[in-house]
């Protein structure tokens, strides 16, 4: 016998079309991906079609499922384009890094007033400036690479402490 005050028993979640339940989560199947792709193609080819018409044509139970499937396809396209852009940027950074590495590995001579500077023995002096500049550039390229791939952790600032006010020369009993 129940008193009517018991919490309601949660209903088993309805399974979205084309998905199976595994370990308490819904997993998309190949059939669901194909349905979503058909819905996205219908929307692209016939923008005047309503989501309900697309749902009826593809086999979704309602227009919300069709809308979600189309949004999922749009998101997948955006993610793919983003990944391609990141790969192109990474390739450019790799080329810059190789160029800086070539400068770092070369020996550079000290030149003053258009002439190579030599020591007392007549041996040309080596210039460390270009190597140090190459190292700085390589460091900057690596920082750009880390930012591109989101490897840097965001900076967190912790603020703690309290403020205590003290009134000098006044009896606290007089304040009440």
The residue among 152 and 6 whose pLDDT is bigger is 152
Q: What is the pLDDT at residue 124?
A: 95
Instruction: Enumerate the β-bridge partners of residue 118.
Output: 124
Pairwise CA distance, residues 109 & 96, whole Å: 23
Q: What is the pTM of this model?
A: 0.56
Q: Determine contact, residues 52/58, Cβ cutoff 8 Å.
A: no
Segment 83-120, tens digit of pLDDT: 999 999 999 999 999 999 999 999 999 999 999 999 99
**pLDDT confidence of 158, banded at 50, 70, 90?**
confident
Tokens of 150: 């989101």
Q: Determine contact, residues 110/116, Cβ cutoff 8 Å.
A: yes
The H or E element containing residue 111 is strand 111-112
């Amino acid at each position: 016998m129940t008193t009517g005050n018991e919490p309601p028993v949660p209903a088993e979640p309805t399974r979205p079309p084309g998905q199976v339940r595994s370990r308490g989560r819904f997993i998309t199947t190949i059939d669901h991906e194909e349905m979503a792709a058909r819905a996205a193609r219908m929307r692209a080819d016939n923008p005047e079609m309503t989501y309900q018409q697309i749902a009826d044509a593809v086999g979704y139970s309602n227009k919300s499922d069709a809308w979600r499937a189309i949004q999922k396809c749009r998101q997948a396209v955006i993610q793919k384009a983003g990944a391609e852009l990141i790969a192109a940027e990474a390739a450019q950074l790799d080329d810059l890094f190789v160029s800086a590495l070539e400068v770092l590995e070369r020996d550079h001579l000290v030149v003053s007033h258009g002439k190579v500077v030599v020591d007392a023995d007549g041996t040309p002096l080596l210039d460390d400036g270009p190597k140090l500049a190459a190292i700085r550039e390589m460091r900057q390229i690596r920082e750009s690479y880390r930012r591109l791939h989101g490897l840097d952790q965001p900076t967190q600032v912790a603020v703690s402490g309290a403020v205590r006010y003290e009134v000098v020369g006044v009896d606290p009993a007089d304040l009440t």
